[in-house]
Structure 1
Amino acid sequence: MLAAAPASSGDARPAVPPQWQAGAAVAGPLDTAALANWWKRFDDPVLDQLIDNALRQSPDIRTALSRIASARASKNIERSGLFPSLNASASGSGSRTEVRATDVTTTTENYGASLDASWEIDLFGKQRLALSAAQADLAQATENLHAAQVSLAAEVATAYVTLRSTEAQLAALETSLSAQAETAQIAQWRQQAGIVSVLDVRQSTSALEQSRASLPSLRQTLSETRNQLATLCGRTPGELDALLAAPRALPAVPASLATGIPAETLRQRPDIRAAERGFEAAVARTKSAKRDRLPSLSLTGSLGVESLKAGDIFSPDRNLARLVGSLSAPIFAAGRIQATIQIKTEAERQALIAYESAVLSALAEVENAQTSVARTAERLDSLSRAAEAASEASTLAAQKYQAGQADLLVALDAQRTSLSLEQQRVAAQAAQLTAHIRLYKSLGGGWSSL
């Protein structure tokens, strides 16, 4: 892992820090066993079923599997170049010549069969380098599959959290609408009794309808998120509605996970390993291109028989054998070989830069995810206390308004504040869950060999 850059590349490998700057919540080595199926830590059977369906049926996973099959076939093609090729052929010919002057007709027949072999000997290892590049391509395709599994599991989990948080926000809104409708009814009764003016009725009705206007957007989000989950699972829109119909609470925040050290994460992440395999393939192709400047040796040979009659092909009149060796070396190619080497060298440099970029992005993603986990927990703690206090204040304000001991605006403001803080609390809970998902993804969790 973490192959060194070649001396000729001029590019330095990024330094891997010994520890995470954000600090690990739990000391110890990276828990790779827990990362393999990290979503089970949320203890939600619906989420488990969704991710299982997605990993089996997603178009992205099927495409990655097809690319592995294609890369394996390409490797077999390169491997076949190390061996001789053998072909069989059969031929037959006949002619009839008639000389009118002598009235003589001559008929001849000729039949033959042969085995032809050719072999380009891998004198300087060019073909073996091409095979090494194809093997690295196959390994990269396999790691790309694992990376697709990591991304897909995180995407499904994030969409599921969005679904459940939207349901929770919708439930909070409906509870608030019930309280606001009760306040509006009380204002109407008090206006009919001549205690307050029609202004209280209009203000309470306006507040009620303003809150009710949020219902369509929340319901639209629910529908779109269900469709998103169906698409991620390789299903048509609506096909998962039965599974997702019953509202459920947001999953509980899982216990903290040991994140180990940065080097462990880089070994765990399939996108880093894929970038490394891509660099290895590029290095092999550069070396193979340089072998084009060296001589090549090829052998051709054949064994054959000839007969004047088709029935005598196994008792031939003549046996033929031929063996030819050919050694050739490039003398003048108008710069083609050198240009090809330059192209491969730059492709190698680009692969190394892509590897470095993947390492830097991975390190930043883990640091950001760990910080996000800590900060969202702090925000959720504050909002939970604020939402609880606002709910009590809203209840007290409504009771005092009903008893004529508080102004309507005080009651309406308390209800708005309570609804806003409860929705913020739900959003913060969802953000904390999403932060944990981002952390699991950044640590390379969620992939397994198929």
Structure 2
Amino acid sequence: MKISIVPFVLATGVGLASAWAAGAPGGRPAAVPSSFVEVQGATNLSSAAPVERWWTTLKDPELSRLISRALRNNLDLKTAEARLLEARAARRSARADLFPTVDSTVSFSRIRGGYESGNVHVGNGGSGGANAGAIFVAPYETNLFQVGFDASWEIDFFGGRRHELQAATADFQAAEEDRRDVMVSLAAECARNYLELRGAQRRIAITQDNVKLQSDVLHLTEVRAHAGLGTELDVERQREQLASTEASLPSLESAERESIYELSTLTAQAPTALVEELEKSEPLPLAPPEIPVGLPGDLLLRRPDLRRARSQMVAAAARVGQARADLFPKIVLTGAAGRQATGIHQFTLGAGNFFSLGPQLSLPVFNAGRIRANIETQKQRLNESSLAYQNAILNVLREVETSLTSYQHEQERREELVIAEDASKRATQMANELYVRGLADFLSVLDAQRQQLQAEDALAESDTTVLTDLVAIYKSLGGGWQ
């Protein structure tokens, strides 16, 4: 059975209905299945609601402390929080545009005058000529002081400002989801590095145990060779085996340090800050017996990246409306009021009042198609965000199913590796006993040693992979920000 997300999308908030009505040709959103395929028939997966603080299911206090520290101090998270505050300020600015603005003004001007008025006709009563004259006004100077208030208010008849506020609100919500998405990734990254650290430490311990075992065998072969019961070839073969095993230690120790350095950086500390705290080897935590993964439809509410994509679509729809509002007249009420006088001392006695109020109407007449081009631009951006949202849904469903199948198949692989490890240990013991009794050649011992080391190392690696696959499941489900 498939569940269409169209009703959900159309009901998710202001602007989505208008998004489709505004002409987004993105098509029908993807259908969300009613359950995850990998959950069906699985005994260790359930459709119950996922655990929010999923790392607590591993019951590792050190891991919980590291994640809490990272969620408090990580610099990428603080950067996302700064972007959130920026978006909040932008929303306040957009909201302020809905209200009148009032400014106080104080002005001073000095006026200088004096002019010639032009010709004046003077008659003598006869038919004779006339005398042309000019009237002169003496130069003068005066001061003019003004104190008052200017006000303006754009009446949002056609919704341009309201759509601007809707877009800014959606941008703020997208920034909030971006911060939450950083939290999800941060918790998962901390857990992955911590588990890889413990896995590397376990593999180091296994290798060191094999080094000790092979050293003992080397000593035995040397004793047998000196006693004439073995050959120098056996000694050199064992020495080569031992050196090869020891050669694998540096890369494992490097992986151990890299994980510690990464954890230090994630918690906003110097790379070596956690070396003393984490270099002591500890066992890998155990995976919980059952993992609640919820339903696919829950992802639309849980995954911050999906919520962010939805908010971006809302913002794009609002900007289409904002662009369309530019086609219509803008009406601005302007006014001014105050007092004016020719001297500061006259403000209390001889000042005059002034007042003005009136509308200002502006209507686009010719702009070479700029407004309609902007509308088309915003509509295509809406289409892009719609397609991006649909694609994000499909990618999220793929991520969850992929992480679930990886986890399940690694669990199956681990079960076989447990059998292989147990068999390799018995084979090594039997090969050593037969060699000492002269019933097997030394190549059997060498081969058994290699097989044991490979089996133990593969099991340790698989145990780590099971846990990192578990982390990938929780990350794909969007846990860690609530």
1:298 aligns with 2:328: no
Q: 2:9 aligns with which of 2, 5, 8?
A: 2
Q: Secondary structure at the match of 1:447?
A: coil
Contact 2:71 2:186 (C-alpha < 8 Å) held by counterparts: yes
Match 1:84 to one of 94, 100, 103: 100
Residue 45 of structure 1 is matched in structure 2 by: 61
Select the residue among 427, 432, 435 that pairs with 2:466: 432
**SS of 2:230 mapped into structure 1:** coil
Give the letter for the 1:6 counterpart: W
Q: Against the structure 1 CA distance between its residues 193 and 115, is the aligned structure 2 distance closer, same or farther, given a 3 Å change threshold?
A: same
Q: Are the aligned partners of 1:46 and 1:243 in contact in 2 as well (CA < 8 Å)?
A: no
Amino acid at match of 1:395: Q
CA contact (8 A) 1:64 1:144 kept: yes
- Contact kept, 8 Å, 2:111 with 2:142, in 1: the verdict is yes
* C-alpha deviation, 1:304, in angstroms: 1.7
**Structure 1 residue 336, shift from structure 2 partner:** 0.5
Q: Deviations over 1:150-209 (max 9, x none)?
A: 111111111111101111111110111111111111111111112222111111111111
Structure 2: distance between partners of 1:15 and 1:105: 85
Separation in structure 2 between the aligned mates of residue 281 and residue 349 of structure 1, nearest angstrom: 12
In structure 1, what is the Cα distance between the partners aligned to 2:147 and 2:405? Answer: 76
What TM-score do the two structures reach when normalised by structure 2?
0.88
Give the deviation of 1:257 after TM superposition.
2.3
Query: Following the alignment from structure 1 to structure 2, what is the Cα–Cα distance between the partners of residues 161 and 279?
Result: 37
Partner SS for 1:293: coil
Q: CA deviation at 1:396?
A: 2.1
1:101 is aligned to none
Percent identity, please.
35
Contact 1:294 1:330 in 2 (8 A): yes
Task: Answer yes or no: is the 8 Å Cα contact 2:167–2:315 preserved in 1.
Answer: yes
Distance 2:331 2:9 in 1: 37
Q: Compared with structure 1, are the counterparts of its residues 379 and 279 closer, same or farther at alpha carbon in structure 2 (3 Å cutoff)?
A: same
Deviations 1:90-133 (A, max 9, x none): 123446899xxxxx996533221110001111111110010000
Q: Do the aligned partners of residues 371 and 299 (structure 1) sit closer, same or farther apart at CA in structure 2, a change above 3 Å counting?
A: same
Structure 2 counterpart of 1:386: 420
CA distance in 2, matches of 1:295, 1:252: 67
Q: Are 1:239 and 2:253 matched, yes or no? A: no
- Which residue in 2 is equivalent to 1:193? 227
CA contact (8 A) 2:39 2:45 kept: no
Counterpart Cα distance in 2 of 1:368 and 1:215 = 32
Counterpart of 1:307 in structure 2: which amino acid? Answer: A
2:85 is equivalent to residue 69 of structure 1: yes
Deviation at 1:225, TM superposition (A): 1.1
User: Is 2:456 the partner of 1:422?
Assistant: yes
Partner Cα distance (1:280, 1:212) in 2: 59
Shift, 1:85, TM fit: 0.8
* Alpha-carbon offset, residue 444 of structure 1: 0.9
Give, in whole Å, the separation in 1 of the partners of 2:113 and 2:381.
Answer: 64
Query: CA-to-partner distance for each residue in 1:195-250, whole Å, 9 max, x for gaps?
Result: 22211111111111111110111111111111111111111111011220221001
Q: Matched residues in 1 for 2:202 and 2:46: separation?
A: 36
* Contact 2:333/2:358 (8 A) holds in 1: yes
Does the 8 Å contact 1:30/1:265 carry over to 2? Answer: no
Match of 2:14 in 1: none
Give the secondary-structure state (helix, strand or coil) at the position aligned to 2:39. Answer: coil
Q: Does 1:310 align with 2:344?
A: yes
Q: Distance in 1 between matches of 2:279 and 2:109?
A: 78
> Which protein has the larger Cα radius of gyration, Structure 1 or Structure 2?
2
- Contact 1:285/1:344 (<8 A) preserved: yes
The amino acid across from 1:182 in the alignment is D
Pairing 1:342–2:358 present = no
Deviations 1:259-312 (A, max 9, x none): 222101222111111110000000000111011111110111100211122022
d(CA) in 2 for partners of 1:95 and 1:346?
56
> Are positions 1:403 and 2:419 aligned together?
no
SS in structure 1 of the partner of residue 472 of structure 2: helix
Where in structure 2 are there 5+ consecutive unaligned residues? 1-7, 11-16, 115-137
Moved more, 167-176 or 182-191: 182-191
Matches within 5 A, 1:90-105: 90-94=106-110
Distance 1:106 1:81 in 2: 45
In structure 2, give the amino acid aligned to 1:74: A
Partner letter of residue 13 of structure 1? P
What letter matches 2:104 in structure 1? A
Give 2:394's match in structure 1, choosing from 347, 360, 371. 360
Q: Distance in 2 between matches of 1:403 and 1:29?
A: 58
**Matched residue, 2:204:** 170
For 2:291 and 2:104, how far apart are their aligned partners in 1? 64
How does the TM-score come out when normalised to structure 1?
0.94
C-alpha distance in 2, partners of 1:166/1:126? 59
Alpha-carbon offset, residue 403 of structure 1: 3.2
Shifted more, 416-425 versus 263-272: the winner is: 263-272
| CA–CA distance in structure 1, aligned partners of residues 388 and 163 of structure 2 | 22
2:49 aligns with 31
Report the Cα offset of residue 88 of structure 1.
0.8
Question: Structure 2: which amino acid aligns with 1:44?
Answer: D
- Counterpart of 1:52, as a letter, is S
Partner of 2:123: none
> Equivalents in 2 of 1:23, 1:304: separation in Å?
75
CA distance in 2, matches of 1:398, 1:201: 14
Match of 1:14 in 2: 30
Partners of 2:394 and 2:327 in 1: CA distance = 37
Residue from 29, 52, 72 that aligns with 1:56: 72
CA contact (8 A) 2:424 2:451 kept: yes
| Distance (whole Å) between structure 2 residues aligned to residue 330 and residue 90 of structure 1 | 34
Judge conservation of contact 1:266–1:362 (CA < 8 Å) in 2.
no
Cα distance, 1:316–1:375 mapped onto 2, change above 3 Å: farther
Query: Which of 293, 310, 319 is the matching residue for 1:285?
Result: 319
Q: Distance in 1 between matches of 2:255 and 2:158?
A: 63
3-state SS in 1 of match to 2:154: strand
- 8 Å Cα contact 1:286/1:344 also seen in 2: yes
- Aligned-pair distance for 1:87? 0.8
1:264 maps to which of 298, 301, 306: 298
**CA offset at residue 83 of structure 1?**
0.7
Aligned equivalents of 2:218, 2:9: Cα separation in 1: 67
> Is the contact between residue 336 and residue 356 of structure 2 (CA under 8 Å) also seen in structure 1?
yes
Equivalent-residue separation in structure 2 for 1:343 and 1:82 (angstroms): 25
Residue 252 of structure 2 is aligned to residue 218 of structure 1: yes
